[in-house]
């Protein structure tokens, strides 16, 4: 059972990290810093990666210089964007970490409550639901990225 489910979850992880990669490649530097729908584009992207990191077991990966919880949770705005290269580096660290989490799931742990999610947002999501929620959360914000690109006259990522 676990192998069939983890294979499916790995496809989900590839899907949302693949679209994030497309956005990083397509996003011009000046758009990275631009505000769209009340928040800077980089802040949406940072938020997606920050949340992904908090749903996984173990200590979070290092934040890029200037990356704070307040910025990740839209509790503050910064006049200076996080460097795109630094955020892209974090993205490169997040995908294998997420894949390792999915591969670690067993029949016994697939449907256990994700304690990291529970500590962060006090909801009872299983490990399976957590990965699916990360996917839907990423795509929710990736829609913003796609809209920002298209508003600029650039090809979208979908």
Which CATH number fits the domain that encloses residue 135? Answer: 1.20.120.450
- C-alpha span between 137 and 32 (Å, rounded): 19
- C-alpha span between 34 and 146 (Å, rounded): 14
pLDDT at 109: 94
- C-alpha span between 51 and 22 (Å, rounded): 19
Q: Does residue 48 belong to any structural domain of this protein?
A: yes
Under the banding of pLDDT at 50, 70 and 90, the label for residue 142 is confident
Average pLDDT over residues 35-59: 88
The domain tally of the chain equals: 1
pLDDT exceeds 70 at position 68:
yes
Q: Does residue 12 belong to any structural domain of this protein?
A: yes
Can you give the residue range of the structural domain that contains 32? 2-151
Under the banding of pLDDT at 50, 70 and 90, the label for residue 67 is confident
pTM for the predicted model, two decimal places: 0.87
Q: Does residue 156 belong to any structural domain of this protein?
A: no
Beta bridge partners of residue 39, listed in sequence order = 36
């Amino acid at each position: 059972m676990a192998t069939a489910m983890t294979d499916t979850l790995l496809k989900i992880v590839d899907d949302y990290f693949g679209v994030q990669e497309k956005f990083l490649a397509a996003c011009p530097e000046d758009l990275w810093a631009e505000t769209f729908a009340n928040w800077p584009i980089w802040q949406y992207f940072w938020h997606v990666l920050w949340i992904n990191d908090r749903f996984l077991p173990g200590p979070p990966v290092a934040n890029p210089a200037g990356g704070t919880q307040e910025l990740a949770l839209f509790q503050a705005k910064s006049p200076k964007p996080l460097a795109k290269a630094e955020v892209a580096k974090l993205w490169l660290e997040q995908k294998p970490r997420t894949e390792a989490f999915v591969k670690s799931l067993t029949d016994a742990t697939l449907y256990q409550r994700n304690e990291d999610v529970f500590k962060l947002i006090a909801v009872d999501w299983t490990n399976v639901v957590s990965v699916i929620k990360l996917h839907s959360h990423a795509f929710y914000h990736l829609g913003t990225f796609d809209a920002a690109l298209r508003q600029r006259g650039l090809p979208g990522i979908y």
